[in-house]
Amino acid sequence: MAFEHLVKLLDETDVVAIVTTRKNGERAATAIWSMVVDGVPYVRSAFGKGSWWYRHVAAGRPVSFVDGDGSIAETDRIAALDLPRVDVSLVEVPVDAEVQPAIDAEVERKYAAAPTRDIRATVSAEARSCTFRVEPAA
């Protein structure tokens, strides 16, 4: 899958599956939200630095996204691992970066039908401190 296809997927799909790598090398799929602002894709940990997928990324382990509806990872994480995916690099976005308010606005627009508590969690100061820009794999 070309990176441009992934950007479109992250923009148009409500739930994506991020695949991270545990310390023992085992892969794990997690359903998360994604936002695209001015053609640039972003993800956040709505549950902050305690989220295990966030900890895997912060540890510098390999990351990819499943090509398709990531909601499969909500019900069958193992099946999600069998789907095609694209490797990426995630780059931390500083909490005070100019793009942060635009990411907040995109969360509120894209996920307007989601429960208010989930949107609040994703635009919280804690979530902002766990924002990554998605880039092609290095």
Q: Which class in CATH covers the domain with range 3-133?
A: mainly beta
| Cα Rg of the chain (Å, integer) | 14
Torsion over CA: 45, 68, 66, 88 (sign)? negative
Please state the domain extents for the chain: 3-133
pTM for this one? 0.94
Give the closest residue to 128 by CA, choosing from 100, 91, 108, 99.
Answer: 100
- 124 neighbors 55 (Cβ within 8 angstroms): no
| Amino acid symbol at 105 | A
Q: pLDDT of the chain along its 138 residues, tens only?
A: 688 999 999 999 999 999 999 999 999 999 999 999 999 999 999 999 999 999 999 999 999 999 988 888 999 888 999 999 999 999 999 999 999 999 999 999 999 999 999 999 999 999 999 999 999 997
